[in-house]
Chain A
Amino acid sequence: GQQLNQSPQSMFIQEGEDVSMNCTSSSIFNTWLWYKQDPGEGPVLLIALYKAGELTSNGRLTAQFGITRKDSFLNISASIPSDVGIYFCAGPRGNLNQAGTALIFGKGTTLSVSS
């Protein structure tokens, strides 16, 4: 079935450093989503990607939808302490785009930022 392989599993960085994490799949996805989850809370959408090759920014965050539609990366520039959390990539199961489709999640990247 569809699976998302996310790496790295965890990262420990200094405040101000840039961060990069990625997600790959053996299956094609038509949508790539990146979420952040803080402890004890639900995931919050950071960036949504809908077209192969698309590069989208949201403040200090930048994400790209791979040309092959089988991968995506998320970059965080000039990290700050509040960037701490777990970052998940996700895609719609069955390759549908509509809101009525369940999501498949990667295993997450835990980010720790020291000041």
Chain B
Amino acid sequence: SQQGEEDPQALSIQEGENATMNCSYKTSINNLQWYRQNSGRGLVHLILIRSNEREKHSGRLRVTLDTSKKSSSLLITASRAADTASYFCATDAPSGGSYIPTFGRGTSLIVHP
């Protein structure tokens, strides 16, 4: 079963609008990461937020983490057509002393020019 689940499954917006994606997970985590994937290619690491952090920024990206609700959100401000991609959250689930990233099914974002 998936540790992280993104919501919504798909999101369609106009260029310039903000896009918000959410991720919920089930067990305690060490950290949570967001990745972007363009059209079935490799994943690109966007941002990592540790379990003791509540908010993190990187350029037009803003990530929040609420460990009490076991949820995270990714906000992309002033979206561009080039932001069209699938976005995945990955949580590090403890496993035998190591941490294995577990991915959700992703949110498909389409930004219309």
Question: Does A pair with B?
Answer: no
Which B residues contact A (CB, under 8 angstroms)? none
Residues of A within 8 A of B (CB): none
